[in-house]
Structure 1
């Protein structure tokens, strides 16, 4: 199964979390793509004004090639790029599994985990990597 691993990658802490998740997923036998591997910082710099378009196209093309999207939903609101990836994958009929390790409520109602549009675009939302691996076995 091919997994697209979505989530913010702007801080060293975020990248380290994603590296650890990717390692667990690969160890479990999945093929994993994440945006940090799609474009190097040097490529992005060299693209100049075309960088936003090229980044979006690389992510979109990688999403097209995946079976499942695993999306990190932590924070007071879901990262905007991650939200776009979730919406795109949902619209294309891909399975989307959100992972929210953040204990804060970030939804629209007292029963929500995250924003209603994100929550309802996910086939499942899990709270830790062990639960994620269990859900992925059923995909």
Structure 2
């Protein structure tokens, strides 16, 4: 039986679309037998020149998510994309394993004493922040990776 993955990611800027395309291509190259649902490829509801109402989008993507064996969630950005965070909540509630990807370079240097000392000064944190509730949902039902190679390797387990 063919395994299915749901790819949750922001998809509104050229940068996001190109990154998604590039990462999904790598995953498909490594796992040609894996069926990946990528919302940006679903032109019936995601062609931004056309029209799909909120209920059509919610039903279409949620049905695809609920029929998936696992979810890949791109968690990069100034904050986790609202749609991705919502999809993480749906996946968690449905018991669908979640593989998060968070590549923000500000998470590096966790042992650097100057960066740690700066945490005591208001407005000087050198680290990024992620909503801990959303992070917790991913960790309770999956894992978060700091680079795409780790994520791609982990997919093998599914």
TM-score normalized by structure 1? 0.85
Number of residue-to-residue matches in the alignment: 131
The 3 A distance-change label for structure 1 pair 135 and 113 is farther
1:113 and 1:119 in contact (8 A); partners too: no
Question: RMSD across aligned C-alpha pairs, in angstroms?
Answer: 2.1
Unpaired stretches in structure 2, ≥5 consecutive residues: 108-124
TM superposition shift of 1:45: 2.6
1:138 aligned partner: 157
1:117 aligned partner: 133
Q: Deviating runs (4+, > 2 A) in structure 1?
A: 44-47, 110-114
1:86 and 1:121 in contact (8 A); partners too: yes
1:127 counterpart = 2:155: no
Paired with 1:23 and 1:129, the residues of 2 have a C-alpha distance of 12
Whichever of the two has the greater Rg, that structure is: 2
Unpaired stretches in structure 1, ≥5 consecutive residues: none
Matches within 5 A, 1:95-110: 95-104=97-106
